[in-house]
């Protein structure tokens, strides 16, 4: 996709997923971000320790995400056919305590809560 704009690349990927040319996310794919040295970018320089789970086209309400008092946050991206669930943890990767879990808004979910 060399030479294409980011919008063109995103559109091509979304079309490939929609046409089933790319496989859906494997159910329950996950990653963890538990390093004290993690960097979330300029808008949120440091995120608390957290786990992330990925599913293809699943309703965030299934996990009770984004509800008042819920520790689960989610971002559903219809263009990428992807739902990302974020769950804060209370310990860093070195085992030390993180601050008590407080509500955080994922950068791409602002406005969806």
Q: What pLDDT does 108 receive?
A: 45
- Residue ranges per structural domain of the chain: 24-105
Residue 15 parent element (H or E): helix 6-18
Would residue 20 be called left, alpha or beta, if left means φ above 0 and alpha means ψ between -120 and 50 degrees?
left
Q: What pLDDT does 79 receive?
A: 76
DSSP code, position 28? T
Whether residue 16 has pLDDT greater than 60: yes
Q: What pLDDT does 41 receive?
A: 72
Could you report the per-residue pLDDT of 21-60, keeping only the tens digit for each?
988 777 778 888 888 877 767 776 677 888 999 998 889 9
- Residues in the chain, overall count: 113
Confidence of residue 67 (pLDDT cuts 50, 70, 90): very high
């Amino acid at each position: 996709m060399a030479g294409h704009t980011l919008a063109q690349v995103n559109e091509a990927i979304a079309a490939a997923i929609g046409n089933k040319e790319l496989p859906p996310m494997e159910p329950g794919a996950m990653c963890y971000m538990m390093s004290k040295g993690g960097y979330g970018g300029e808008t949120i320089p440091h995120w608390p320790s957290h786990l992330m789970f990925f599913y293809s086209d699943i309703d965030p309400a299934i996990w009770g995400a984004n509800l008042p008092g819920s520790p689960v946050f989610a971002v559903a991206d219809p263009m990428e056919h992807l739902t990302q669930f974020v769950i804060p943890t209370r310990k860093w990767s070195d085992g030390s305590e993180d601050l008590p879990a407080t509500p955080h808004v994922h950068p791409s979910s602002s406005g969806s809560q």
